[in-house]
Amino acid sequence: EAGVAQSPRYKIIEKRQSVAFWCNPISGHATLYWYQQILGQGPKLLIQFQNNGVVDDSQLPKDRFSAERLKGVDSTLKIQPAKLEDSAVYLCASSSLGQGGETQYFGPGTRLLVL
Amino acid sequence: KQEVTQIPAALSVPEGENLVLNCSFTDSAIYNLQWFRQDPGKGLTSLLLIQSSQREQTSGRLNASLDKSSGRSTLYIAASQPGDSATYLCAVMRGAQKLVFGQGTRLTINP
């Protein structure tokens, strides 16, 4: 079974530029998550999708971050314009739709450096 | 608001030692607690998942315990090996599949 795929793996941009990350979850997984992990901290949930719909985006800085999940499969996360504090690893995860408490499977992450 | 704390932030031990990593959380209303491993430049790998009704889970040399009433969990690693060197993250799951992570413990096993 293929795992969660993310691209690109690394990205360096200057502040005020835009950037987009892509995630392909495990086949059949209804729930998809984007996390932000700043160096030395644990991951923080940015947005959670269930199929096409957003379940939770309470911690997404909506003035600059946007995310979509077309057709309930792949997802993209965009930052526009980027700030220095956006430098972090962006992790995508997916899980099956069950009774609750299902394990989340994580991709390798995209490491973003904003200069 | 659920907060998860891991102590120590970093730990270095000689190979072969048994060790314990600690995790504490402020709200006992959780679905489950998970321990993850994160290697440099890689994503997270789930090691153990303890449901809220359980007290412990074991996998090989790893044993995780959960005490909901006191808001604590421990990850016990027996006979540590250099390959165990990684960052270990504790996370609690609240409603609707929401994971709240601690900041992690960076573990180094010295040969």
Phi, psi of A15 (to 5 degrees): -60, 150
pLDDT tens-place values along chain B, 111 residues long? 889 999 999 999 999 999 999 999 999 888 899 999 999 878 899 999 999 999 999 999 999 999 999 999 999 999 999 999 999 999 998 876 789 999 999 999 999
Rounded CA separation B7/A9 (Å):
30
CA distance A62 to B69: 37
B 15-54: CB under 8 A from A:
31-32, 34, 36, 41-46, 49, 51
Amino acid at A77: L
Residue B43 has what pLDDT? 87
A44 pLDDT more than 90: yes
Structure confidence at residue A100 (pLDDT): 59
Q: Is the pLDDT of residue A71 over 90?
A: no
Shortest distance, CA A81 to any CA of chain B (angstroms): 25
Can you tell me the mean pLDDT for A88-109? Answer: 85
Q: How, if at all, do strands A105-106 and B4-7 pair?
A: unpaired
Burial class (CB in 10 A: 0-12, 13-18, 19+), A14: exposed
**Residue whose C-alpha is closest to residue B35's, from B105, B98, B109, B95:** B105
Confidence grade of residue A101 (pLDDT, cut at 50, 70, 90): low
- pLDDT at position A1 is 63
Peptide bond into B14 cis (omega under 30): no
- B99 inside 8 A of chain A by CB: yes
